[in-house]
Amino acid sequence: MSIRSFTRHFFLFAVVVGLGFLASCAPRGETKSLDEVFQIAKARYERGLASAELSTETSEKLTQLTGIMDSLLQASSDNEVVEAATRAEALLGELVTQSAYTNRPAMGEISKAYRSLTGLSGREVPLSVSADPSTSRAVQDAGGITNADTRKLLVARSYNLLAQELETTSFQVEKAGV
């Protein structure tokens, strides 16, 4: 193989790798608005709820939780937010023992996010429940617990988590005696 041929092959290889790299950096659906994310999560939850075989008790808890999350979204004062978040955290705490073992850590993180809305953990409001303190500080600076977008994102994440559970074990782990 001559140097000219090698150079040509190397150049073609570099172009193909470069194009592949550029194509892999393109957005892949991360451009959805908060409203779209919320609607998708709620629709997924409602589909899961309609197809799941739930006990009466679990069904009632999920109905209560849905109502609480709706009231959290519509809350206009810090007191209303704290009351709804407290009730949501308590219901999630009851549901966690029935959830799949793989969903329990995520349910704990969502419960922690609701707890932080109540002010019991320093009034930090986690947007992504990350350990990054700058995220919590940015959320506080953007309006604290009355920030409707922050609460909407938390509720959307809750709907996604509940939908995941409904699609898998449907809160029946405890019932099965596992």
pLDDT per residue over 137-178, tens digit each? Answer: 444 444 555 588 889 999 999 999 999 999 988 887 765 554
For residue 170, which of 79, 75, 61 has the smallest C-alpha distance?
A: 61
What is the extent of the structural domain holding 162?
A: 33-167
- Give domain status of residue 67, yes or no: yes
Statement: residue 57 has pLDDT above 60: yes
As for how many domains the chain has, the answer is: 1
Question: Which pLDDT tens digit goes with each residue over 70-107?
Answer: 999 999 888 899 999 999 999 999 998 888 888 889 99
Q: Mean of the per-residue pLDDT values for the chain?
A: 79
Q: What is the pLDDT of residue 73?
A: 93
Statement: residue 135 has pLDDT above 50: no
User: In 17-44, which positions are buried (b, 16+ CB within 10 angstroms) versus exposed (e)?
Assistant: eeeeeeeeeeeeeeeeeeeebbeebbeb
Higher pLDDT, 26 or 22: 22
Query: Using CA atoms, how far apart are residues 149 and 73, in angstroms rounded to an integer?
Result: 9
- Give domain status of residue 12, yes or no: no
Query: Using CA atoms, how far apart are residues 13 and 29, in angstroms rounded to an integer?
Result: 29
- Give domain status of residue 46, yes or no: yes
- Model confidence at 15, pLDDT cuts 50, 70, 90, reads confident
- Give domain status of residue 26, yes or no: no
Query: Using CA atoms, how far apart are residues 37 and 30, in angstroms rounded to an integer?
Result: 10
- Give domain status of residue 135, yes or no: yes
- Give domain status of residue 102, yes or no: yes
3 state DSSP class of 121: coil
Long-range contact pairs involving 43-49 (C-beta distance under 8 Å, separation at least 24): 44/159, 44/160, 44/163, 45/159, 45/160, 45/162, 45/163, 45/166, 47/163, 48/162, 48/163, 48/165, 48/166, 48/167, 49/166
- Give domain status of residue 18, yes or no: no
- CATH number assigned to the domain comprising residue 154: 1.20.120
Statement: residue 127 has pLDDT above 50: no
Q: What is the pLDDT of residue 98?
A: 87
- Give domain status of residue 17, yes or no: no
